[in-house]
Amino acid sequence: MLNKIKLNNFKCYKNETFSLSNLTVFCGNNSVGKSTAIQALLLAFQNNFSSELELYGDFVELGSYQDIHNRDAEFDSLLIDIHKDGSSLKWGYTEEEFGHAKREQVEDAPLPIISSLEGESVIQCWNEQYADNFIFLSAERWGPRRNYPYSTQRRSPSWLGIHGEFTPQVLNDITSLSKPLANDDARSHSQAEGPTVADNLYKWMGEISPGVFIKTKSDKEAGITTSQYAFGEHTYRAVNVGFGLSYSLPVVLALLSAKPGGLVIIENPEAHLHPKGQSYLGRLIALTAQSGVQVIIETHSDHLLNGMRLIARVKEDFDPNIFTLHYVYKGGEESNVDTISLAKDGKLSNWPKGFFDQQAQDMFTIMTGRTEMPGSQQVN
C-alpha cells in the first residue's frame, strides 16, 4: 500500500506531506490544490516509476519544470517522494543538483530519480504489483456515446481507460465479470443473486438507477463496442438514457473489479449523480477499501462523504482507521491542509471552517432571513 507522499516546491506546495491509507479522500474548494498530490502520483504511474518522469503522458500533462515548480519557492529545488510499505522512490532536483545544471537543460528535461541505489529493485517490485491492478478514472469521463473504442493494447484486461472509454469492452469480457468475490469480501451486495462481479455490479448500479441492466456488444474487427441500458422489457441506447449511468458505470465497475492489494484513483466519482446515488457510491467506496483495495478519491460531495461515514457507523467490522481525509484550503497565498480522521460512530475529528458547511449556511439564511451565521463570514 502507498503510505505517504511528500512534495517539496511542487506546484502549490512548498513543503507538504500527505499520509495515505486504504481510503484517502481529498476535498476542498476549486483551484486550491486538491488534485496536486494525485497528479504527482499519476506522474509516477504513467512513467511506470522509471528513473525519469516525463511531464507529458496519458494520465497528466503538466508542462515544463517552470509549470510545476512552486512560483514562490525560495530555492530551485523540487521533490516528489512516494513511500510504500517501507520503501520509497524520489524524483526531482535538490538545490545542489540544480546548481550543477543549466536552467535550460532542466526546463525541458524529465524529472530524474534521486532515490537510493536500491531504486531499480523498488521500481521493479512496484511495477509488478500494479501491472494489472491499477485503475485511474479522471473527472472527464465519457458520457453517453453511440459507440466506444475497442482495443487490444490496453494497460491490462481490467483497464477501463482514464475516461472510462473501455468500460463496455471490459463488460463484454465474460471472464472478468464471472470472477467471484471472496466469501468475506465487504463489497458483496446483500441482495446480489450470486458472488460474481457481474451479480454485484447490477445490484450496486440498481442503487443508483433501480432495475437497470446493462447490455454490451463488441465488434473487434470494427474496433468498437456499444452499450445499452435495459429497464424491464424496454432497452435503450446509451445516448437516450443520460449522463448519470454512463458516468457512474465505470466507477462502480472499477471498485468491484479491483483485486485486494491494488489501487483505484477516481476524481469526482459523484459527477452527474443524484444525492442517493452519491451516498450509495460513498458506501461502496468505503467497502472497497475495507476489502483490501487502496482507494484514493477527490470529491466535492458531502453526500459521498456521508455514505462513507454511514458505513463506519453501521458496519461493525469496519475499521475507521483505514480512512484519511485531507481538506485543502487557501490560507493567504498558500495552500494549507487539515487532516481529518473518522471515528467508529461516523463522526469526524474536526470540522474546519469552509468544510462542507454551505448547506448549514444556506439553511440558516432561509430560516432566519439573515446572511451572517454566528462565528462565520457573511454569506454573499
pLDDT band at 376 (very low <50, low <70, confident <90, very high): low
Average pLDDT over residues 39-50: 96
Least confident range of 85-99, 120-134, 264-278: 85-99
Domains present along the chain, CATH in parentheses: 1-133+258-349 (3.40.50), 144-257 (no CATH), 356-380 (no CATH)
Q: Is the pLDDT of residue 166 over 60?
A: yes
**Of 270, 268, 365, whose CA–CA distance to 35 is shortest?**
268
Within 10 angstroms of residue 230's Cβ, the number of other Cβ atoms is 13
Average pLDDT over residues 70-97: 88
Average pLDDT over residues 43-61: 95
pLDDT band at 354 (very low <50, low <70, confident <90, very high): confident
Q: Which residues of 148-160 are buried (b: 16+ CB within 10 A; e: fewer)?
A: bebeeeebeebbb
Q: Is the pLDDT of residue 177 over 90?
A: no
CA–CA separation, 97 and 141 (whole Å):
39
Q: Is the pLDDT of residue 25 over 70?
A: yes
pLDDT value, residue 103: 57
Three-class HEC string of 330-377: EECCEEEEEEECECCCCCECCCCCCCCCHHHHHHHHHHHCCCECCCCC
CA–CA separation, 189 and 186 (whole Å):
8
pLDDT band at 380 (very low <50, low <70, confident <90, very high): very low
CA–CA separation, 310 and 317 (whole Å):
13
pLDDT value, residue 365: 85
The tens digit of pLDDT for each residue in 287-343 reads 999 999 999 999 999 999 999 999 999 999 999 999 999 999 987 778 999 999 999
Average pLDDT over residues 164-174: 92
**Of 374, 325, 366, whose CA–CA distance to 347 is shortest?**
325
pLDDT band at 76 (very low <50, low <70, confident <90, very high): confident
Structural contact between residues 178 and 164, judged by C-beta atoms closer than 8 angstroms? no
**Could you give the percent of the chain with pLDDT greater than 70?**
94
CA–CA separation, 36 and 333 (whole Å):
16
Q: Is the pLDDT of residue 182 over 90?
A: yes
Over the chain, what is the mean pLDDT? 91
pLDDT value, residue 377: 47
The tens digit of pLDDT for each residue in 329-347 reads 987 778 999 999 999 999 9
pLDDT value, residue 361: 85
The tens digit of pLDDT for each residue in 97-154 reads 665 555 566 777 899 998 765 678 899 999 999 999 999 999 999 999 999 999 999 9
pTM over 0.85: yes
pLDDT value, residue 378: 41
pLDDT value, residue 100: 53
pLDDT value, residue 95: 73
Average pLDDT over residues 193-214: 94
pLDDT value, residue 174: 74
